[in-house]
Structure 1
Amino acid sequence: MALTSTTTDATQIITVHSDRIDAAMAIQFKEDMRTQADGGAARVVLDLTGVEFIDSSGLGAIVASMKQLGNDRRLDLAGLHPFVEKVFRLTRMDTVFKLYPTLDDALATTAG
């Protein structure tokens, strides 16, 4: 799984370059997230613009990635396709993560 990372102001943006986060790639996703987010900014925005499908393993991998950041860092999600957003809402994970329609919307909002 390919992830890229950039930092803007006090926000680290990690972009997922895959159309799926599922059981076949959940473990690799967690490892790649750990590598990309290690020592980064206090706020991390995961850009899911290219992700069209996520299953429970993928959802679990994103939750695990949030936990890896620790209590002093925050993981927000941006660019969720309708199906992916539906998974987050049905599982009530929209109460755990801040969801933004686009990356620009996420960057226009300060963490907090």
Structure 2
Amino acid sequence: MAFEIREEGQFTVVLVDETRLDASIAESFKTYLFDQIESGKNQLLVDLSQVRFMDSSGLGALVAGLKKSAGSGSFALASAQPAVKDLFDLTSMDKLFTMHNSVADAIQGD
């Protein structure tokens, strides 16, 4: 599994460099997010541009990251692909998360 991190603007961008965010990597992804938050990264932006499929485990890892960051900063998503956007719409999680069309839009404050 591959997660990459970089600083862009006011955000710490976490790229999920996998095509699937599912049960096979969800727990390690959640741990990775928690490690970033606990190390003081308080403006997280998760770049989902590579993710083509997400199941409930992947969604659960994102919800856990959102909850962990609550009160200490922001947690947003960017570049969700159509199938992933559909999952967020179907589960009404699009109302829970701040979602940006792209990392550039998030940085510019779309």
Find the residue that maps to 1:71 and give its secondary structure. coil
8 Å CA contact retained: 1:45, 1:78: yes
Find the residue that maps to 1:31 and give its secondary structure. helix
Q: Deviations over 1:87-108 (max 9, x none)?
A: 0111111111111111111111
Trace 1:1-112 onto structure 2 (pairs within 5 A): 1-109=1-109
Find the residue that maps to 1:15 and give its secondary structure. strand
The Cα of 1:12 is off from its aligned counterpart by: 1.0
Mind listing any 5+ residue stretches in structure 2 that lack a counterpart? none
Q: Which amino acid is the alignment partner of residue 81 of structure 1?
A: Q
CA distance in 2, matches of 1:42, 1:60: 20
CA distance in 2, matches of 1:98, 1:6: 19
- What is the aligned-residue identity percentage? 34
The Cα of 1:67 is off from its aligned counterpart by: 1.3
8 Å CA contact retained: 1:10, 1:41: no
Mind listing any 5+ residue stretches in structure 1 that lack a counterpart? none
Q: Deviations over 1:19-46 (max 9, x none)?
A: 1111121111111222234334432110
Tell me how many residue pairs correspond in the alignment: 110
